[in-house]
Amino acid sequence: MSLRPGPLKVAVTGASGFVGGALARRLVADGHHVTALTRTPARYTGAGEPVAADVGDAGSMTRALAGHDAAYYLVHSLAEADFAERDRAAAHAFATAVGEQGVGQVVYLGGLGDSHDALSEHLRSRREVEEILLAEAPTTALRAGIVIGDGGTSWEILRQLVSRLPVMLTPRWVETLTQPIALDDAVDDLVGVLGRPGCIGQTYEIGGPDPLTYREMMLTVGRLMGHRRLIIPVPSLSPRLSSHWLRIITDVDMATARALVDSMTNEVIVHDHRIDTLLQLAPMTFEAAASRALAAREARLAGDRHVAP
């Protein structure tokens, strides 16, 4: 099926997730017909029409993609011990289903990072999925670092560290450069490439206006929250100990903590700014993104208190 002008029928994998949920809401608001592919449609409460599908089940994915113009691939198996193998198999199955159903465009969100660098296992897996989809399906690939917004795992780790620790003896990855992007800006980019035939086969890097260290981000968040925080890097703190440190201080599970810590040692910055020129966008600063995320959290908690019995 070729892409057509006007509203599209769009499938979103990962619609229950942080980025996928925001994307599905935006697509519906823009007038597209959205299918939320989920393993548990009865429990889905987000935007779009829930349809049973599992990227690990090629048959269900083929049935679910019937009649769709485009599909977003936003899933990965971060918390699974064999996540690389799971993601590899799922990417092949998804690409096959896309081909069988004639879906005109796949939009994939992967991770930033220099391929010539010693990428973490997690980032290598995200890059492998990108390569599979580009080779086997009509794909537009976007690469992002940390996405800043209420509900994001990496953002929540930053917020909890700043909130809970007046003095932080931190691992050396606090000096690693990354280029965070606001959730709204990431969604703008994901939606912006939809339905553009010229974007198929392309890879774009997305991020905010400036690279920052994790230390700089934590100090900014502390200032926004009214906290003065002392951050003391400890170079001898190993990745394994660093993972346990995150697990103890924050709510993240151990498998996710280990995968994130491994990735935090990689510099993930934007070198290619073509997408900002293509879409004529000006992404917001980290401070603006963090302020918006904190405000969204306060609004959500206030809503929860309002409906509590």
Report residue 154's pLDDT band, with 50, 70 and 90 as the boundaries: confident
pLDDT at residue 308 above 70? no
Q: For the whole model, what pTM was predicted?
A: 0.90
pLDDT of residue 1: 46
Report residue 306's pLDDT band, with 50, 70 and 90 as the boundaries: low
Nearest to 51 by CA among 74, 34, 73: 34
Topology of domain 9-145+181-207+270-283, CATH? Rossmann fold (3.40.50)
Q: What is the mean pLDDT of residues 150-170?
A: 79
Report residue 294's pLDDT band, with 50, 70 and 90 as the boundaries: very high
Rounded Cα distance between 108 and 172, Å, is: 31
Domain boundary assignment for the chain: 9-145+181-207+270-283
pLDDT of residue 174: 78
Cβ atoms 17, 79 nearer than 8 A: no
In angstroms, the Cα distances linking 193 to 106, 157, 210, 309 are 10, 30, 22, 44
Q: What is the mean pLDDT of residues 15-34?
A: 96
pLDDT at residue 166 above 80? no
